[in-house]
Structure 1
Amino acid sequence: MPREASAQTADWQHLLDRLADLGERRLVLVEGDREAALVWLRKLLPALSTGPGLWVGQPDACPANGLATVGPGKARSWLGRELGLVVWDGWQGNPPDGLAAIAGTLTAGGLLFWLMPPLSQWSTWPDPDYVRTGLDAARCHAFADRMATILGADSSVIRVNAATPEQARLPALPAAERPFRVGTNADQQQLVDRLVTFGLGRRRRPVVVTADRGRGKSAALGMAAARLLQQGRQRVLVSAPTRESVATVFRHARETLGDELAAEDDAQLVCNNGGELRFLPVQALLAERPDAEVILVDEAAAIPPHTLKQILTGWPRVAFCSTVHGYEGAGRGFNIRFRAVLERETPRWQELTLRESIRWATGDPLEPLIDRLFLLSANGFTGDLTDPEIAIERWQPAGATEAERNEAFGLLVDAHYRTTPADLRQWLDDPAAVSWVARCQGHIVGVLWAAREGGLPEDLGAKIALGERRVRGHLLPQSLASHAGFPEAACQRTLRVIRIAVRNDLRQRGLGRRLVLAARNYAVSEELDTLGSSFGGTRELLAFWRACELTFVRLGFQQEVTSGEYPVQVLSGVSVSGVELVSRLRSRLARYWTAYLPGHWRDLSPGLVMALTRALPATGRLDEDDHRDLFHFACGHRGFDLCLPVLQVLSQSPGVIERLERSEDAPLWAESVLQERSWPELQASGRCLGQRDGEDRLRSMVRELLQNGPEL
């Protein structure tokens, strides 16, 4: 190796050694020609002493042997791992969620090499990842420009010109007074002790552990699991979205057990005393439902809330571990939504947290840099508000101050189950985006983000309805065209509300409705056809949108991965053709509603089933024979099965569902009549004592309707 190259390598190795001693990490931005950057890295990296490394890019371009490889779109799959070196080929695309995730895998002394064009070109450079999200139509990319500004101003970023890498100025780091070592600190040890107490303690007192990335929560789970086995627990199960997510848990459990470990494989540790620690993916855990004294759920924020509830109620002792701020995007939403489930199901639950970082030192500059780039810790304004005046105004996130963006994005993070860095990029860069904020005393206390969709050519709309074509974006119009079967929905122009959020203490004051009204007025002024939204269905959200005069037009067959709820779509006509489309969508859905319910939505909550049924047009019409059947059922002994079709028509008759909802047996009606659950199912769930009891209660409900209900 030439002396000059050797000296350069020595300088980089010295930097790595100093970073390791200080417990810090660095971003290395390699700007300029991609091929020149790769040539330099192929010379440099093999000579450096680093920990496990990863190349994010095309496998055949990997600059060093020994690096694992992954594509940019799969980078988030490395969640929960630990790396000493990452090389990210930004020329192949830069999905924000993956970038933020990969940064969190770096341990103390690690370097993140990022190959990119010069910072001055970022605002107009066509990132390959834009095509995936429809951002390739934007002439200027505010998100990338904002990142370039932040990186250019951060003195911790090591900038390397790919054409002259030997001229890179490496930071002159001071020698550490005492070398940094990854180890258990007092904060983590206290958590381990409390987890052991929980695991040996009383039933139905679950624990929720929250922390930022790098605080050692997964390590704490592993150490606690091992100690529980040492103290007599026979089976401790660990669950997570993927096996790779729990590698840290198992490593620390293995180290803690030491000589007490009798056998092991990738998914199981067995102690000399017969106790076992076993990994099961979430779905396998729920399918097999094995006996276990303790369940530990890692990366819980990535698991839908309805699934977490099943785990919570399925075993005696469950601990959930989650990142609160971070690239998972679900952390704070998890904390808010799952808290309600915990309060209802297990009110004696405990909340624990970790604050001190373990994998890197407190002064590490990479964590705050990634935090700023992706607004991972964005917070809405929480100060006191003395001025009651709140103004609604149009707002452009791309042109706002960083403080305003922090307030607005923080509201979205708190209000929605999953809001990620990719959402921030979409909000800033999407040419079709339109936004409004509610402002009070100079602060943003409410926000609505919408996008213009639809307006597609008629021939394309027809192909979408036939299932022959699918185009990027246009979620609501395409869904109504392809799934509801109305090709004209793709051709009409729609304003879709993507997200809406209001500061928690200002909710229930009509502020959300005012934001939606502003969006509607815009749709009118722009001569659009409809205003709509799509959301994970709950009774509360359905009631909100009905209050905003948007009506229910479609319910998806598949549950959302993020919320675990079925997607509900609502729409309001703005133009004459839009009003007609909404009417036709609703009439058709109402016509086939009771046919769809048993086959596709048997696991919907009965309260939501009743609310959705009420939200549809009352299309039921009873003839004389139907009235006779109802009388024979209510006042005689005519069987339920024989009367079921008539009871379903009754459910959709004018004014009936509103009366049925007031009954304490409304859930029984929803599950037996509308969802067609069997009597053994209803008995097993505690809805009734058996068929005779269930039928008697339904007969009573029909008698009340016949005597005191609406005109039938």
Structure 2
Amino acid sequence: MTHQSPDTEPAVPDSNHAAWNEFCRNLAALGERRLVLLEGDRSRALDWLAGLEGSLQPEAVLWVGFREQSPLATANVTEPRKAARWLGRELDWVVWDGCAGNPPDGLAALTGTLKAGGLFFWLMPPLAQWSGFEDPDYARTGLETAESHPFAARMAAILQSHPGVVRPGPDGMPLPFPADRATKPFRPGTTPDQEALIERLVRLGQGHRKRPLVITADRGRGKSAALGIAAVRLLRAGRRRILVAAPSLGAVDSLFRHAWLEAFGTEPAEPASRLTLEDGGELVFLEIRELLARQPAAELVMVDEAAAIPAPLLKAVLLGWPRVAFASTVHGYEGSGRGFDIRFRAVLDAETPQWQSATLAQPIRWARGDPLERLAARLFLLDAGAPTPPPVKREPEVTLWSPASAPETELSEAFGLLVSAHYRTSPGDLRQWLDDPRAVSWVLRTGDRLAGILWATREGGLDLPLAQEITLGKRRLRGHLLAQSLASHSGFPEAASQQLLRIVRVAVPADLRGQGLGRRLVAAATCWAAEQGLDAVGTSFGGSTALARFWEGCGLQFVRAGLRREASSGEYPVQYLKGLSQSGQALQQRLAGRLAEHWLTLVPLNWQNMEPALLAQLSASLPAPAGMTADDRRDLYSFARGYRGYL
């Protein structure tokens, strides 16, 4: 139930600690959590929070903001941009100071840390002011110059009427209790489907080879706990070594905590990466690349947070050990894992056709239907799903489209389509899509149904002196990813001074791919860019043969490959460009020609581990190299003077 106050009167609560204490007890009995929105008078709200903390004495509290501004005596402290690192912990309170910045990924992540009875306090201006609020986090992603912020305005509209939001008023009235009192108090613990998963994992660890298990679940369903408990039961049953792989040690904190509880009845004193039983059986964590480099023997390998691991690495694990379990978050606060589910399924079907799947639906730390979980899903579209394409074929139609002004249902479908087609789509991407003043989007419809989406952003157009400083490595701006990358790595300042349209994402439903719909979207964007007088259209993506074929089929030219694999995709970034104006076409030819001249020298230095098929395709797409040019002499001069590096 929502207790609201007028936006014209700042909502700051008076002391009513007894009511809050009973409210929290009732929430815990129901297995629910709540967002408490503290609007308006910030200093008074901070004083009130300090008093409430002293009265209620929550055990685990996190203050998100500047350390020196925390009013809380017992709180841990973190910065907003580091908040997502707390995912996997269990907290009673989160107190988020919106004046320190509001990165969506961190906000969404911390809603998953609160246990039943927990409160998420959010200090912000009145809701009516959100669209014009100068969030300190905007500068991090180049949004500080935007005239309006539709993402914040949308959140404010949702919070205004959402039944799961508590907005205490200045009158100090007692909080409204949840309407339904608990007949049987909620108790966090192992759920029936989690226990069934533990049994399946034990059978996997003792069973036939090459029958991997793929586990998918929303955040908070206990998949990591199930992995840890099952690992200990397998070790007690006679297995000698079980390995755990993940993107980082922090990702398996929950797994080892539950393994420790199962084995010894207590939690580890500090984050653990190894567990050894009395008979020598051991559970050992290795970062995914270390696992593949060392290739240690093990009866079972468990891969947690698999959605954050590149598909080629997952395939290497699949083929490298006899028994493997992959666990992935589907609707995760840090980004969706459905791209993993779609991409990796083809690998599983080809390599291990007897693979199995399992899902977890019931939350373990809060009750099903928890208001805070529902609110987070609504605010950040965590449960957005791709639309089901219509069975009747109709002529596709491509139109310009604005996500910021779209109806909520259509926005959810469009974002769900981006999620399903990309290896990682986060709440931060949603804000960038809605708020970026340089963004342009197109939708493709077949009849009344959404069948494709393209998100692009305008880049470049920088004045020549600034472009030259970027080329010399003296300046680096936020945004302008493709324009700055091409300028700084090629030595051509016009790559930053010309106006480009960078295509950020193209997404088509899985069962409609291969029908030319993506190319229609790219053609529409290219036509629009030419009409607007832009010089070129381009893109940057994690390289794969399928994507390289797609972009070459759209008429774009390969012009650059990154020197290091992307952390998100595990693939080398590859950049393509198509000149539209005369100067844009000249830039495309210069970039491709320059790369071709040095390609055979650069490959053994930088791309020895690139997938052979991709390397062959990129090589074949380049023009024939020429002899030494004026550009060579210019590069030698820049290197000799220290303006540019060797590569």
**Cα distance in 2 for residues equivalent to 1:154 and 1:330:** 24
- Show the counterpart of 2:444: 438
Give 2:102's match in structure 1, choosing from 84, 90, 94: 94
CA shift digits 1:241-285 (9 cap, x unpaired):
333332222222222224799999833222222211222333433
Distance verdict in 2 for CA 1:105–1:448, change over 3 Å: same
Letter of the structure 2 residue corresponding to residue 607 of structure 1 = A
Q: Where in structure 2 are the equivalents of 1:302-321 lying within 5 Å?
A: 302-321=308-327
**Cα distance in 2 for residues equivalent to 1:278 and 1:61:** 40
**Cα distance in 2 for residues equivalent to 1:49 and 1:204:** 51
- Show the counterpart of 1:425: 431
**Cα distance in 2 for residues equivalent to 1:567 and 1:261:** 41
Q: Does 1:146 align with 2:154?
A: yes
Letter of the structure 2 residue corresponding to residue 414 of structure 1 = S
Equivalent position SS for 1:129:
helix
**Cα distance in 1 for residues equivalent to 2:218 and 2:46:** 33
Check conservation: 1:34, 1:91, Cα contact below 8 A. Answer: no
Q: Where in structure 2 are the equivalents of 1:207-222 lying within 5 Å?
A: 207-222=213-228
Distance verdict in 2 for CA 1:481–1:208, change over 3 Å: same
Could you state the TM-score of these two structures normalised by the residue count of structure 1? 0.83
Equivalent position SS for 1:123:
helix
Give 2:31's match in structure 1, choosing from 19, 23, 35: 23
Larger radius of gyration between Structure 1 and Structure 2:
1
- Show the counterpart of 1:385: 391
**Cα distance in 1 for residues equivalent to 2:271 and 2:45:** 40
- Show the counterpart of 1:710: none
**Cα distance in 2 for residues equivalent to 1:112 and 1:558:** 39
Q: Does 1:257 align with 2:263?
A: yes
Distance verdict in 2 for CA 1:84–1:379, change over 3 Å: same
CA shift digits 1:554-596 (9 cap, x unpaired):
1111111111111111111110000000001011100000000
Check conservation: 2:20, 2:175, Cα contact below 8 A. Answer: no
CA drift of 1:492 comes to 0.1
Q: Where in structure 2 are the equivalents of 1:495-644 lying within 5 Å?
A: 495-619=501-625
Equivalent position SS for 1:131:
helix
- Show the counterpart of 2:85: 77
**Cα distance in 2 for residues equivalent to 1:84 and 1:529:** 54
**Cα distance in 2 for residues equivalent to 1:169 and 1:405:** 34
- Show the counterpart of 2:630: none
- Show the counterpart of 1:120: 128
- Show the counterpart of 1:224: 230
Distance verdict in 2 for CA 1:6–1:92, change over 3 Å: closer
**Cα distance in 2 for residues equivalent to 1:578 and 1:292:** 55
Specify every segment of 5 or more residues in structure 1 that has no aligned partner in the other structure, as ranges: 622-712
Could you state the TM-score of these two structures normalised by the residue count of structure 2? 0.92
Q: With CA pairs under 8 Å and 6+ residues apart, which has the higher RCO, 1 or 2?
A: 2
Check conservation: 1:261, 1:272, Cα contact below 8 A. Answer: no
Equivalent position SS for 2:243:
strand
CA drift of 1:451 comes to 0.6
Check conservation: 1:262, 1:271, Cα contact below 8 A. Answer: no
Letter of the structure 1 residue corresponding to residue 19 of structure 2 = D
**Cα distance in 2 for residues equivalent to 1:197 and 1:411:** 36
Check conservation: 1:81, 1:244, Cα contact below 8 A. Answer: no
CA shift digits 1:465-486 (9 cap, x unpaired):
1001000100111000001221
Equivalent position SS for 1:149:
helix
Equivalent position SS for 1:44:
helix
**Cα distance in 2 for residues equivalent to 1:376 and 1:54:** 23
Distance verdict in 2 for CA 1:462–1:261, change over 3 Å: closer
Check conservation: 2:39, 2:123, Cα contact below 8 A. Answer: yes
Give 1:354's match in structure 2, choosing from 345, 357, 360: 360
Equivalent position SS for 1:405:
helix
Q: How many residues align?
A: 615
Give 1:37's match in structure 2, choosing from 25, 31, 45: 45
- Show the counterpart of 1:159: 167
Equivalent position SS for 2:193:
helix
Distance verdict in 2 for CA 1:251–1:343, change over 3 Å: same
**Cα distance in 1 for residues equivalent to 2:571 and 2:14:** 58
**Cα distance in 2 for residues equivalent to 1:108 and 1:597:** 54
- Show the counterpart of 1:631: none
- Show the counterpart of 2:349: 343
- Show the counterpart of 1:181: 187
Letter of the structure 2 residue corresponding to residue 100 of structure 1 = A
Check conservation: 2:28, 2:117, Cα contact below 8 A. Answer: yes
CA drift of 1:311 comes to 2.5
Equivalent position SS for 1:137:
coil
**Cα distance in 2 for residues equivalent to 1:346 and 1:451:** 41
CA shift digits 1:291-349 (9 cap, x unpaired):
22112222222222233233323322221111111222241111112222323333322
- Show the counterpart of 1:646: none
Specify every segment of 5 or more residues in structure 2 that has no aligned partner in the other structure, as ranges: 1-12, 628-647
More helix by share: 1
Equivalent position SS for 1:419:
coil
CA drift of 1:109 comes to 1.0
**Cα distance in 2 for residues equivalent to 1:530 and 1:501:** 21
Distance verdict in 2 for CA 1:317–1:22, change over 3 Å: same
Indicate the RMSD between aligned Cα atoms, in angstroms: 2.0
Equivalent position SS for 2:262:
helix
